[in-house]
Structures are given as structure tokens and as C-alpha cells.
Amino acid sequence: MLVLNVTYKCVPGKREELRAAIRAQGIDVASRGEDGNFKYDFYLSTEDPDDLLLVEHWRDVDAWMTHRTFPHYEQLNELKKDLVISTSIQKAFADEA
């Protein structure tokens, strides 16, 4: 299983706007509905009011690469242009529990 921790450093004061837009556009729901997705959840940092963490679990790299071809993936990239300063991704492989 591929595990991704994706941290979005949002434009100051824009974290909630990003989170609300993701929900309003159904990006989270569409991603969770993809074949090979086991988890796609957002978490708020208690330390930094501008950090938004996305935790993704995918069956394998191929499932994640397919995810990157869907329109909702590009929708998120469009939102990031105005609302996110930087994105960092940590990747790990884990056995399924």
C-alpha cells in the first residue's frame, strides 16, 4: 500500500477557503470513490493555522498514478494556484492491516 502525507502550506488565512472549496467541488468524495483508494482525509494542523494535511492510502503506485489523470485532481491543482504557497509530499509503503 502507498501512503502519502501531503502538506499544503496555504496562503495566510486561506486554509478554510481551500478546505471548503475541496468539499464544495466534491474533490474529496470523488477521490475516495476511485478504485484503489483506501483513505483520502484532510486534517488541520494545531500548530500552524495555514497548514492543511492530506493523508492518502492507495492500493499501489498504479492506483495513485491513475488518480492523477482524473479531472478532480486537476481541479485541486487549480485551487492550489491561488490558495497554496507550497506542497510537500512524504511517500511510504506499508503492509495492509
Cα 16 versus chain centre, distance: 14
Answer for the pair 75, 29: CB distance below 8 angstroms, yes or no.
Answer: no
pTM of this prediction?
0.93
The verdict on domain 2-93 having CATH code 3.30.1780.10 is no
Over residues 71-85, the pLDDT tens digits come to 999 999 999 999 999
State yes or no: pLDDT of 97 exceeds 60.
Answer: no
Over residues 31-83, the pLDDT tens digits come to 999 999 999 999 999 999 999 999 999 999 999 999 999 999 999 999 999 99
| Domain-wise residue ranges, the chain | 2-93
- Which 8-state DSSP code applies to residue 51? E
